[in-house]
């Protein structure tokens, strides 16, 4: 029986994961039963266990098939030193579970075209997914650091990729494309970066194993332009850690709201098992926690991704996404969401309702 680990976290994390618990019951009604486990993470774990994630929780996560993560953080823990803060729990899990492929879909849902800042005829059918390399590149490369004193201070980061790191995330991208519209755009800066040249060469080699998927190469700056000019041209976008960080947020902006977006972080498990950590892109929203206004769509769509990518239930994933689409098209809305730290004023508030998906 597949093992699900629920890590609710802080703020609205427990509220959005409460809807995921309902869906676990729904899946059981359709013949898919799980062993569900629960553990603390983030601020809740700091308060109760003295660390943002305990060794015991990491051990549970390593045995799980899918981890349903809510959100972490809040004002209570903001003054802690960086190494002890709530988000370190998430970073430790990603690192220790080897979750190297970050899947970030961006979709303009029918009925929500008005949420996109782009004209509906330009963005209306946007349905793309990023595969971002998550454990390498400039966020982890060595050497790094700062030296010197003013006025001669220097700072150094290193962008480094091995062939193996590129190949494994490229395989993840091509496998994903096979289940979609079979088009993959590989994004780098091969014109000015050594890692970009290696990236392009390795992705081209991996593509030979997927003749049914068309491959296009694109420079990252052009990709930013094309995401705004013509986002419907994209299906799967494969890119490195830094470009993926920036461009997937841009695509979230095209979709209109970071708050509706799910995500997955996948690794390479033994015997074909793909352990995954699934989480909404939004944070813990301390400003609305406890008010009943948390929008659960991103958490629900994250559960759909878990059904598809880790739990071997693509039909249930399709049903859940279709139910989400029907609910949104029928007018189910929360208030418009800002991005992380964007501090945007909210234009209006709508009551939230969430019907059970039908199958
Ligand atoms: P945020 O995403 O939590 O909130 C931004 C704005 O969007 C807020 O006004 C919030 O009320 C709203 N919002 C977010 N999700 C919503 C939802 N599901 N329904 C309705 N409204 C929603 O970003 P922030 O304010 O920059 O950060 C708040 C805390 O979350 C911080 O402690 C930050 O470190 C943390 N954070 C955690 C994660 C994570 O756990 N993966 C990601 C980003 C930020």
**Which residue range(s) make up the domain with 239?**
117-128+135-255
Q: Indicate whether 299 and 213 sit together in one domain.
A: no
- What digits encode the pLDDT tens for the residues 178-188? 999 999 999 99
Distance 116 CA to ligand 1 centre (A): 19
Mean pLDDT of 15-42: 95
Q: Indicate whether 163 and 57 sit together in one domain.
A: no
Q: Indicate whether 164 and 251 sit together in one domain.
A: yes
- What digits encode the pLDDT tens for the residues 274-300? 679 999 999 999 999 999 889 899 999
Question: What is the reported pLDDT for 224?
Answer: 98
Most confident of 217-231, 271-285, 339-353: 217-231
Distances (CA, A) of 337 to 44, 110, 211, 252, 351: 24, 18, 40, 11, 14
- What digits encode the pLDDT tens for the residues 325-334? 998 888 877 6
Poorest-confidence range of 149-158, 226-235, 343-352? 343-352
User: Last residue of some domain: 231, 255, 279?
Assistant: 255
Is 210 known to be catalytic? no
Q: Indicate whether 91 and 159 sit together in one domain.
A: no
Q: Indicate whether 68 and 156 sit together in one domain.
A: no
User: Last residue of some domain: 237, 255, 273?
Assistant: 255
Question: What is the reported pLDDT for 345?
Answer: 33
DSSP per-residue letters across 312-330: S-HHHHHHHHHHHHHHHHT
Q: Indicate whether 102 and 146 sit together in one domain.
A: no
CA–CA gap between residue 268 and residue 284 (Å, rounded): 28
Distance 80 CA to ligand 1 centre (A): 18
Q: Indicate whether 247 and 121 sit together in one domain.
A: yes
Q: Indicate whether 249 and 141 sit together in one domain.
A: yes
- Beta carbon of 294 within 6 Å of any ligand 1 atom: yes
CA angle 328, 332, 336 (to 5 degrees): 95
User: Last residue of some domain: 227, 255, 283?
Assistant: 255
- What digits encode the pLDDT tens for the residues 164-174? 999 999 999 99
What predicted TM-score, i.e. pTM, was given to this entire model? 0.90
CA–CA gap between residue 48 and residue 44 (Å, rounded): 6
Top pLDDT among 293 and 307 is at 307
- Beta carbon of 252 within 6 Å of any ligand 1 atom: no
Q: Indicate whether 6 and 103 sit together in one domain.
A: yes
- Beta carbon of 126 within 6 Å of any ligand 1 atom: no
Paired tokens of 168 = 């494994």
Given 189, 210, 235, 240, the catalytic residue: 189
20 and 68 Cβ atoms separated by less than 8 Å: yes
Mean pLDDT of 267-271: 71
CATH code (residue 283): 3.40.718.10
Is 114 known to be catalytic? no
Is 65 known to be catalytic? no
Mean pLDDT of 93-117: 90
Q: Indicate whether 200 and 145 sit together in one domain.
A: yes
Question: What is the reported pLDDT for 356?
Answer: 34
Q: Indicate whether 325 and 249 sit together in one domain.
A: no
DSSP per-residue letters across 63-129: H-SEEEEEE---GGGTTS-GGGSTHHHHHHHHHHTT--EEEEEEE--TT-GGGSSS-HHHHTT-EEE
What per-residue string of b and e applies to 306-345 under the rule 16 or more CB within 10 Å gives b? bbbbbbebeebbebbbebbeebbeeebbbbbbbbeeeeee
Is 79 known to be catalytic? no
Question: What is the reported pLDDT for 273?
Answer: 61
Q: Indicate whether 64 and 163 sit together in one domain.
A: no
Domain count, the chain: 2
Is 287 known to be catalytic? no
Question: What is the reported pLDDT for 114?
Answer: 82
Poorest-confidence range of 263-272, 303-312, 331-340? 331-340
Paired tokens of 109 = 């849902």
């Amino acid at each position: 029986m597949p093992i699900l680990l629920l890590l609710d976290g802080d703020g609205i994390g427990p509220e959005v994961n409460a809807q995921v618990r309902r869906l676990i019951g729904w899946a059981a009604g359709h013949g898919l039963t799980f062993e569900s486990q629960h553990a603390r993470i983030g601020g809740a774990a700091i308060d109760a266990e003295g660390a943002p994630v305990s060794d015991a929780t990491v051990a549970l996560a390593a045995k799980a098939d899918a981890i349903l993560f809510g959100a972490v953080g809040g004002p209570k823990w903001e003054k802690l030193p960086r190494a002890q803060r709530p988000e370190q729990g998430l970073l430790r899990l990603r690192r220790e579970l080897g979750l190297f492929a970050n899947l970030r879909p961006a979709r303009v849902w029918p009925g929500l075209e008005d949420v996109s800042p782009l004209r509906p005829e330009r963005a209306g059918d946007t349905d793309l997914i990023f595969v971002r390399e998550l454990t390498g590149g400039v966020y982890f490369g060595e050497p790094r650091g700062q030296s010197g004193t003013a006025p001669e201070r220097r700072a150094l980061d290193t962008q480094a990729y091995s062939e193996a790191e590129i190949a494994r995330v490229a395989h993840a991208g091509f496998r994903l494309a096979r289940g979609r519209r079979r088009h993959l755009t590989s994004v780098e800066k091969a014109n000015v970066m050594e890692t970009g040249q290696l990236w392009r060469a390795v992705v081209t080699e991996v593509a030979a194993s997927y003749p049914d998927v068309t491959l296009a190469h694109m420079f990252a700056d052009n990709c930013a332009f094309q995401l705004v000019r013509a986002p419907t041209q994209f299906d799967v976008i494969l890119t490195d850690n830094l470009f993926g960080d920036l461009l997937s947020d841009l695509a979230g902006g095209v979709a209109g709201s970071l708050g509706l977006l799910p995500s997955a972080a996948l690794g390479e498990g033994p015997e074909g098992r793909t352990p995954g950590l699934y989480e909404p892109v939004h944070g813990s929203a301390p400003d609305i926690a406890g008010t009943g206004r948390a929008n659960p769509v991103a958490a629900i769509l994250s559960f759909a991704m878990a059904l598809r990518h880790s739990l071997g239930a693509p039909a249930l994933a399709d049903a859940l996404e279709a139910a989400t689409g029907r609910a949104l098209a029928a007018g189910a809305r929360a208030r418009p969401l800002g991005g992380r730290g964007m501090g945007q004023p909210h234009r209006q508030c709508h009551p939230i309702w969430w019907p059970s998906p039908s199958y």
